[in-house]
Amino acid sequence: MGPGKYLHVAVVGVGGVGTQVVEQLIASPIYGFQLAALASSKRMLQSTKDLCINPVGWKDALNASETPVDLSAVKNTLQELVKQGEKVVFIDNTSSQDVAEMYPAFLSVGINVVTPNKKAFSGEVELYKGIVQASRSGKYLHESTVGAGLPIISTLRDLVETGDKVIKIEGVFSGTMSYIFNNFSSVEGNNESFSSIVKGARAQGYTEPNPADDLNGADVARKLTILARLIPELKDKQGNFPLLHGYQSVETTSLIQDAPASAVSNGDEFMKWLPEQDAHFAQMREQAANEGSVLRYVGVVDVKNQVVKAELAKYPKTHPFATSLGGSDNIIMFHTERYGKRPLIVQGAGAGNDVTAMGVVSDILKLIRL
């Protein structure tokens, strides 16, 4: 790995996913690493010539730090290590737009970036293009932005880079939506109300604090944007994406279109309002059942017809989206020229701190092997 034979790691965001990332790195029996910096939302800790962060006591040391967060200082530290011939990686476990906008600056000076943060890769196309251009100096990997620990992005890259042509990608991309509709519209049938199932999902931590942030479909739209930007046939000669400037360009069916502003902005208010929609969802479920189908919230990148959409759709009870899903599983089908008659399917847990962290750590190990 270079002169010091260590990977120097800066971890920003040490909540559920970030904590798991550090712990999985510590537990890795294969590669050595040094914590160059740790940062929470309030404080940070940096290694110096005289003091190295102890991986065993990292959390207590960070909590005791009185140093405010300064990501420019972290960048300078990592840049100096790059100049010394060391291999470094900046790991962003936040969902911050501000942090995402720093990626080009990190990459341009040879700092590698690994992240589960969707915003850099699904927002305005100028930022995305800036990241791609800056990656000539540093590498970026973001497997966990789409399927947590599932190999969705790497599978798509392998297909594209070996010359296969993508016809369509379709799947259940949201662990939250998967859990809700697996229970609400099951093959066996269910009479439980939609709001009751959402309430249970929220209580178990499957949703955001405000479930409106899941039911508006934006998370699925972001994931579709990330995948669509990896498909050559959706780019023009200038490297732009005529179909979608960002995730807001995705044709997205929101399940909370009639929600008042107070409900959209407050989780408790949203849950008070949601029962008003129970009759509507019950009617949709009944209609699907009468047709021998179930409801699933799916994302589709239809390259052939130049459509990218996130919607609530009906699928036959014999379809894999009906029969193969359990809990908060994701399932993604790749329809390509090579996989024409039988699509390539990737399925498994698509949410959770441990599997998301696994996707991050897997990307870190890929960087080491480059």
Sheet containing 33-39, strands listed edge to edge, beginning at the edge strand earlier in sequence: 44-46, 33-39, 7-12, 87-92, 112-114, 140-141
Nearest to 273 by CA among 295, 284, 257: 257
**Binding site listing for NADPH:** 94, 118
**Binding site listing for L-homoserine:** 208
Amino acid present at 147: G
Got the DSSP string for 191-217?
---HHHHHHHHHHTT-S-SSTHHHHTS
Largest CA distance in the chain: 71
Query: What distance in Å separates the CA atoms of residue 336 and residue 338, rounded to the nearest whole number?
Result: 5
**Would you tell me the crossing angle of helices 175-184 and 194-203 to the nearest 10 degrees?**
140
Query: What distance in Å separates the CA atoms of residue 224 and residue 250, rounded to the nearest whole number?
Result: 8
Query: What distance in Å separates the CA atoms of residue 52 and residue 40, rounded to the nearest whole number?
Result: 18
**Binding site listing for NADP(+):** 13-18
Tokens 């890795």 belong to residue: 28
**CB burial of residue 362 (10 Å; 0-12, 13-18, 19+):** middle
Nearest to 8 by CA among 71, 74, 70, 94: 74
Residues taking part in catalysis: 223
Residues 6+ apart with CB under 8 A from 162: none
Amino acid present at 257: Q
Got the DSSP string for 324-353?
S--TTEEEEEEEESTTSSS-EEEEEE---H
**Binding site listing:** 13-18, 94, 118, 208
Contact assessment for residue 172 and residue 330, using Cβ atoms and an 8 Å cutoff: yes
